[in-house]
Amino acid sequence: MENRSAKNSLIALGPGWAAGIYTDSVREKLDQLLGAAPVFQDPKSIFEDPDRLREVDILFSGWGSPKLDQRLLSAAPNLKAVFYAGGSLDGLLSQEFKASGIRTFSTIQLNSEFVADYTTSLIYLSLKGFWNLTDQIRANRRFPDAAQAQVPGLRRAKVGLVSLGRIGIATAQQLKRWNIELSAYDPYFSAQEAKRLGIRLTTLETLFAESEIVSIHTPLKEETRHLIKSNHLARMPAKAVLINTARGPVIDEKGLVEVFNKRPDLKAILDVTDPEPFVPDSPVSKLENVCITPHIAGILGRDLECFGAAIADELERFLKE
């Protein structure tokens, strides 16, 4: 593909993300590939300079990206490719954009690996009895009696995964090295592929009833909203742990509050809530057996540069086509 000049490329990303993803070293590589570094544009004002947008043929973006829809298609008639430093593009891409022939590149696989790492770490801590033991130490200000005997251990632990997309599969692959017994609920996943991965497919009810740890990886769609209900949570074994790094509305939060109020032995680690962020005095935030983190499972902090480096590599391959 012919060389492009930087005046025809744009980084549409808020300053909070832009500096971390498109660092000096990443911009230097873009500069080398394009002849000069692309300019930054706040996505909130991207349509305020129609002349600039009209000439853009490469758009770099990420979280906070403008919608990839008919409005953008009309405003940027020369657009050839979008490089998205983030996760899934599903919520951004309109049907018109999908049909336009414009190439889209995403770092979804890279982000999925980070989420899987985070999830696996939580599962590891859970099977070490981390939550129960630290709660006891905080409450009693001393080591628990027979503390080491309270550690469940990893081998032959029963872990259930809700959905086997990129993150679910990556998590399963990491867990296999510990000889963990894996089951999953995913009505669309191939039984043959599940067998190859060493995963037993089962019903949602059975998964919750049998698993010491349940990890949710379900994308939010109309049919998955409130997929996890109180009757599922109530089936969880004693001292079971629920992990959600997917989307908050996949769980019926009212049902979770109801069950976890009655079952102080259960533990939930929620990296997502419904709504997000949760409202002040949210009932779920008051539960002592629920740990909430502010959507940190994916790439953040110094690791954001991994996104930028991956985008630069994708651009180099694209320009060679």
- 56 alpha-carbon distance from chain centroid: 30
- CA–CA distance, 273 with 114 (Å, rounded to integer): 19
Nearest C-alpha neighbor of 302 from the set 108, 106, 21: 21
Given the residues 193, 276, 288, 316, the one annotated as active site: 276
Opening angle at CA 92, ends 89 and 97, nearest 5? 95
| Cβ–Cβ < 8 Å for 40, 15 | yes
| Catalytic residue flag (residue 247) | yes
What span, in angstroms and rounded, lies between the C-alpha atoms of 157 and 155? 5
Nearest alpha carbon to residue 153 among 210, 208, 233, 212? 212
* DSSP character at residue 229: -
Active site residue 295: yes
Q: Following DSSP, what letter does each residue of 21-84 receive, concatenated?
A: HS-HHHHHHHHHHHSSPPEEE-GGGGGG-HHHHHH--EEEEETTPPPBSHHHHHH-TT--EEEE
Of 247, 253, 305, 314, the catalytic one is 247
Q: Which of 103, 225, 235, 295 is catalytic?
A: 295
Is residue 142 flagged as an active site residue? no
H or E segment and range at residue 182? strand 181-185
User: Residue 47 in contact with residue 53, Cβ under 8 Å?
Assistant: yes
Residues annotated catalytic, as ranges: 247, 276, 295
